[in-house]
Structure 1
Amino acid sequence: MDSSKKSTNPKLSESGTKDNRGNSQDGHRNKRARTKSSSRLSSQGSIVYYCNYCKRDVSRVLHIRCAECQDFDLCVDCFWNGLTLWPHREDSPYRVISPIYSPLYCEDWTALEEEFLLDGLERFGLDNWTEVAQHIQTRHPLETRAHYVRTYFNSEYSPLPDPNTVLSRDNTDYSIFVTDPDPKSLRVMHHYTEDDNAGWMPKRGDFVYEWSNEAEEILADMEISPNDNNTEKEIKLRLLEIYNAKLDEREMRKDFLLKRELLDTKRREALMNSLSSYERELYEKLCVFARFMPQEDFLELIRSSSEEKELRSQISDLLPVRLAGAKTMEEYNEIEPKHLSTLDLNQSEKGNFGEDISRPEEMDGAELLSTTELTLCKNLKICPQQLLIFKEHLIRESAKAGFLRRKDVKDLIKYDTVKVLRVYDYLIACGWVNPEPPSDTTAPQVAVNVHAGNGSSK
């Protein structure tokens, strides 16, 4: 990189002239160098190295380190493509940092692991084998301790290892050794279970584990500095917005539980006991929509849906007798014992009433039908009253709109579709129903007495 390119670098106008070690003329280190040097310690306590350009972790892989710039590393890809950041130059001298995976003091421990072991011991101290093992990332805490005692502590040159001897492999299976959990955490886990209101603490007004309990982690290590640029400020403000949104959602869920008294186990059990089995089942299915309405309205929805189901069941029980001619409860009480055994109205799962009818001319309402219609009743195995009701509904709907399409018949009468369509075809053949809209805007006048059998069909 020549001097002309250096003079045009926009960073020069912002920070002043800088030497090849990242220091300005006023004696202060540039911001990038301070950030890189302070970022060696990761959130887990491990020393890591990142590519200064693409921020890739290069701690355990081959990478390039500048021999002049302080704390400047590049991954192989960025180095190969000539990518760099000021004050580093493309022609600066460099060193190739390659992890050593060959054994050094023990057959199953690489030199890289030995380096991280000593670095972890220096940072965390002896007897903190869990932290040291996490620093190494590839070893169990007990295995780490056993290796240190065997290689360093029991060495002839203790506390240094024997440089002339490579110890044999340790064949102990350390995965079978599971460390006991913290007794305090066990007490919390056993004391606050799902059956105990998910760890709700009434005196504190909080849960042991809040909704999105890890929400604070995104802000744990964040620091707003006056030296932050606009992009960093926008990112940090966005993180604060995300955190506030999670807090709002947490409070909304807590208020929902408190207002609905869902944390009061006894009150909730009393509520569920007051509901019928169908209402409890409906409550479980619709509970996801409870947050969109007050508790009273939600319970009213459950009860009204149950009442609707009961009314529909009563209607389905009364419909066969209604088709037999009953219009009042007095007629129902008279017709039911007389006709139910004959019509066998409820035996078919498809809704085919009266399949055993062989002589419709002897049943009530036969005098209102023509010979052709009685034959139709016999072929379809329906009673005359049913055919009269079908005719009345179909002709009335056709008169209202001026026509009645075939596809609309299925939704109009909830009965055996095949039989209803046979009646529909019969009415079309007689000219009482129009299958298509008329050509003019005037609806046809249907002057037919549906209860009269003296039509042209005779």
Structure 2
Amino acid sequence: MFEEEDDYKTCLGCNTTLSEPYIRCGVCMTPTTLLCLHCFAQGFENDSHYSNHDYEIIKTDFALFEDHWTAAEESDLLKAVSDCGLGNWADIAAQISSKSPEECERHYTHCYINHPATPLPAFPEPEFQPKPLPIVFKLSDDPPRPLESSALCIEMAGYMAARSEFTSEHDNFVELDLRNITLEENEEDILEEQLKLAALQVYQSCLMERHRRKRIVRSYGLINYKKLSVHERRFEKTLRRYMDPLRAVMRLVPPSDFDKYLEGFNYKEELKREVEHLQEFRENGLTQLRHMKVYNHLKLRRELERSKRHMLSDILDHIQDETACQSWLQKQAALSNGVKYFPVTHPSVPRKSAPPLDIVGLPGFEKLNEEEKELCSSVRLVPEAYNEFKSILVAECKKVGSLKLAQARALIKIDVNKTRRLYDFLLSQGVIRKDSI
């Protein structure tokens, strides 16, 4: 049976709190006779109740609408909705304690609103009245209230707009210097009294500085940094590179004067850009304003044509290369026939050899003979480095008896072509010898 009476019931026989299942007499209705299973099994009787009366077994552990919702939970849900109001699912779930707010909302909406089953428990009109959904209040973003240690909080220097305070005030621990100061009417030590008054003056100046900083934050609109950024986007093309340096000196003038200064600065930059355009027009021979529109149109078209990729410059650089000229002509013929994509082999750019190195006066130059000087200049090798590499290769050749090119490259970590030139030169000079095997 589904019980709708009070939550706490006691047994008429032993006066203990009843727990399901328990027995309710079907005859004794006023007052209702409730018995625990033990008293019912003993055949409890009193002046109005007898053991041969009809009875009902009360329990609420069965499902009514859904398998995972028992009758007791259904009763608790309806009672919680009546107490807390429809929509306060967090408070409703707290009263049920076995279901989450999402489960309570889904079950109530599905079983009692969208798909109501018949019959449903009847609610007296004064006890249950549907209430509108609760109004969810959201904190305003103007002024913003960022979380501590968040990126926005760091940008605002820890300023809490709702409290008009900083998380760390200017000279944050100045109050510690005053905690033990006491002023008496008849101070004997005049010097100590003057020190105390000086400490109070320092504290007063600190308070004034704190007030000044907060006033700057409020007066110049630094509280809502995002809103200030949106306002400054008007000057993005002209004053963007000046905004950060100007922000450091804005406190020197009143806020209205600073805004007027920005507007004037922006107007000056726009005039400057317009003068530069006029100078460009004059340099290109334009003397009338009606010609400027045509000039701008032609300028855009020239830049667009210049951005297009073509091989004319490569052909001019390699006019003697017959293959490059043929490739360019084939591409032009394909483009004239309407072929948009034509595989073209780009001519290879010849590698320019580096000019000889001027080694006169460099360290180790006087130790070289004429052939060695010519080698260092053509290979672009510093004389001192040449002498060092030569001594390394000669010492290795004497140690092993011969020297291969691979061994020389392993000993000298420079360009392989320079190593080959140096190795061949030392072989030709007879300084080192190559293994005949």
TM-score of the two chains, using structure 1 as the length reference: 0.28
- Higher gyration radius (CA): 2
